[in-house]
Amino acid sequence: MIFAAANDARNIVIWSAVLLAVVILGFGLVVWVKRRLQGQPTAPTVGFSLAELRELHRTGKISDEEYERARGKMAATLKHRQEPQPPKKSE
């Protein structure tokens, strides 16, 4: 009788561990699939919009030279993002 109780307790512990492992692996699988379906994250933003840059210039918080330099950098960044990327070589 005591042997049967010890055997039952051992089976409960083993199956609890199996169940816990299945739940953890299932959670990891769901997270992995979610990331795969969402694709690559979008490119980071420049930090502020052209409208905000214009407002800084209009209110005198940045000079004409600073405005032109920042606007040029924003334009170059946007142009670079729109250029088609060459296909990656397979190894």
pLDDT at 33: 92
Do 33 and 54 have their domain in common? no
pLDDT at 63: 93
Q: Is residue 60 part of a domain?
A: yes
Range of the domain at 9: 1-38
Do 34 and 60 have their domain in common? no
Do 3 and 23 have their domain in common? yes
The model's pLDDT over 13-70, given as tens digits with 9 standing for 90+, comes to 999 999 999 999 999 999 999 988 887 655 555 567 888 889 999 999 999 999 999 9
Q: If you write DSSP's letter for every residue of 23-46 in order, what string do you get? A: HHHHHHHHHHHHHHHH-SPPPPP-
Which has more confidence, 28 or 1?
28
Which has more confidence, 88 or 59?
59
pLDDT at 90: 62
pLDDT at 9: 87
Do 56 and 30 have their domain in common? no
